[in-house]
Amino acid sequence: MNKSELIDAMANESKLTKADTARALDSFIKAVSDELSNGGSVALVGFGTFSVKERAERKGRNPQTGEEITIKAAKIPSFKAGKTLRDGVN
């Protein structure tokens, strides 16, 4: 499912217009992104938790030359599914 298909499904479920649904989805994405960029997390009970994880610096290899390189430490977004979502998938 891509973004436009998600908007269609949400609009059908909520009885909102597609334009209103698209604005709501964009607002949700922006709010989650802003909170994660500020180092916070977003917990939706039953659905899951969006958070930021630290990835340590590590060694890797350049696939073309085989040369060893250092991959910098990074912060990466993470999602952990909640129990209700996990149970619904299984």
Q: What pLDDT digit, counting tens, does each position of 3-19 carry?
A: 999 999 999 999 999 99
Burial class (CB in 10 A: 0-12, 13-18, 19+), 7: buried
- Predicted local distance difference test score (pLDDT) of residue 81: 96
Superfamily of domain 3-89 in the CATH hierarchy: IHF-like DNA-binding proteins (4.10.520.10)
Q: What is the pLDDT of residues 46-82, one digit of tens each?
A: 999 999 999 999 999 999 999 999 999 999 999 999 9
| Tokens 């990466």 found at | 76
If you average pLDDT over residues 14-37, what whole number do you get? 96
Contacts of 63 (CB under 8 A, 6+ apart): none
The answer to whether the CB of 50 falls within 8 A of the CB of 79 is: yes
Contacts of 56 (CB under 8 A, 6+ apart): 73
- Predicted local distance difference test score (pLDDT) of residue 61: 94
Domain parsing of the chain, residue ranges: 3-89
